[in-house]
Structure 1
Amino acid sequence: MNIDENTHDGVDVNASSRHVTFDCETTGLHPDEGDKMVEAGFYEIIDRKPTGRYLHLYFDPKRDVPDEAKEVHGHSRDDLVRLSGKRVFADRAQEIIDFIRGAKLVAHNAKFDTRFFDMEFKVAGLNPLASYCEGIIDSLAIAQRLYPGQRNSLDALLNRLVGKDNYERELHGALLDARLLSQVYLIMTVDQKGLEFNERSLTKSGPKLTPARLQIPAGELVIAQPSDVDREAHAAMQARIRKSSGGSCIEFGF
């Protein structure tokens, strides 16, 4: 598995004028233990501009979908049989190869997605993912270098770089995540030398503001107990974090 984990220092992220951000949804976290891919999304960027061209596929995993996975992407086995037309990954593999050929691929926590693609390609009698593209870039590694010590999940980066009011989602979807990742990736890899701004504007100051201490009256401590809805939302959030972090999730219960 050949994944570029560097940005400007060491890896030329613009070596190819065509990039494809991608994501997959699965039945779980472990392809070597029987988990399968259920959805894949690819979104094209050429010359650092999204083209609007994409590939979006569903697959019949030929197995049950655990409730924890369904909470992440929202699809049951019956849903996937219907959406995929009963087709498995091997039936659509050539479409994926044709779409990504000649492109640099970009994924967030790329090792997770690549392991699933490699497994599915192997089952289909094909070569690993990296053999069909010009390399794989891990946007999570880029984010960890740019924002050390901070949360760098895709959701956290969207809030930080795009603004939470500029995107909206309740569930993960492979194509949606690939499209959102394209925004984050382009922002994180912008050529700093190409930015134009007036340095003098950075030194301008407005009216002097004097901070005031906020007085909060003491009151009786109220302990709120979580409802069943709160617990379900908490469980779904943990599932999303586990996927975004590749399973490295410190869990807290109510």
Structure 2
Amino acid sequence: MRQIVLDTETTGLNPRTGDRIIEIGCVEIFNRKLTGNNFHRYINPERDSDEAALAVHGLTTEFLSDKPRFHEIVEELREYVRGAEIIIHNAPFDLGFLNHEFARLGLPEFIEHCTGVIDTLVHAKELHPGKRNSLDALCDRYGISNAHRKLHGALLDSELLADVYLAMTRGQNTLSMEVEVEAAIGGDLLEAVPLGEIIVLKANAEEEALHESVLGGLDKAAKGSCVWRNYSQQG
């Protein structure tokens, strides 16, 4: 399965009041592996960024002045995401800006170029209700280093989110992996390991005495017979 982790940086918070995309970063995942086939473009928005937004991404009007306009990179973007599943943190924000840019050019909505969208913020809230689920918080939770993230950047944030997504969804493969292992154990794998070669080591007298001493301590603490007595008797 081909998936694209996507993030944008913008001049402000609302495309309806004229805010524009200034950076797009995409990271490709194929069959849960990072491929290195990434997409990254800075874009001249033909306007200044709000002071609050500038403090977040640090992309000045001067820096962006010689970068391509959105209409100059849109075909590259459409081709890159075509047929892929898109992964975004807080998807309504980025999709709102992408759809606005596409509408300005008379193009169908962004989602129509893809097979679907996964919102990792929604997924994180389901997994960790009542906890902080920002990208930084998820990096901390899953042990992903973001020490180099001084400012927000679309490509850097996409790279971090790709690692977070793979960590957050790792357990989804567990069932299929267990089924494959069980199938193997039921077939060729058992035949490949002769039962005669399995070595069983029994406890010696000293180890049995130590075990009984531990059980005695548990009996005393429980003021009766501890639960392990049942297993000991069965053995």
TM over 0.5: yes
Match of 2:151 in 1: 171
Return the alpha-carbon distance in structure 2 between the equivalents of residues 148 and 53 of structure 1.
34
Return the alpha-carbon distance in structure 1 between the equivalents of residues 29 and 56 of structure 2.
26
Shift of 1:163: 4.0
Match of 1:44 in 2: 28
Q: Secondary structure at the match of 2:9?
A: strand
Shift of 1:162: 2.3
TM-score (norm 2): 0.72
Match of 2:166 in 1: 186
**Structure 1 unmatched runs, 5+:** 1-16, 197-254
CA deviation profile, 1:191-241 (whole Å, cap 9, x unmatched)? 243678xxxxxxxxxxxxxxxxxxxxxxxxxxxxxxxxxxxxxxxxxxxxx
Return the alpha-carbon distance in structure 2 between the equivalents of residues 174 and 108 of structure 1.
11
**Structure 2 unmatched runs, 5+:** 179-235
Match of 2:116 in 1: 135
Q: Secondary structure at the match of 1:162?
A: coil
Return the alpha-carbon distance in structure 1 between the equivalents of residues 128 and 57 of structure 2.
27
The two structures, once aligned, show a CA RMSD in angstroms of 1.4
Bigger relative contact order, structure 1 or 2, given CA contacts below 8 A and separation 6+?
1
Asked which structure has the greater CA Rg, the reply is 2
Identity of aligned residues (%): 44
TM-score (norm 1): 0.67
Q: Secondary structure at the match of 2:106?
A: coil
8 A contact 1:24–1:38 mirrored in 2: yes
Richer in helix (by share): 2
Corresponding pairs, count: 176
1:79 is aligned to 2:60: no
Match of 2:38 in 1: 54
Return the alpha-carbon distance in structure 1 between the equivalents of residues 175 and 131 of structure 2.
25
Equivalent of residue 149 in structure 1, options 130, 139, 143: 130
8 A contact 2:144–2:164 mirrored in 1: no
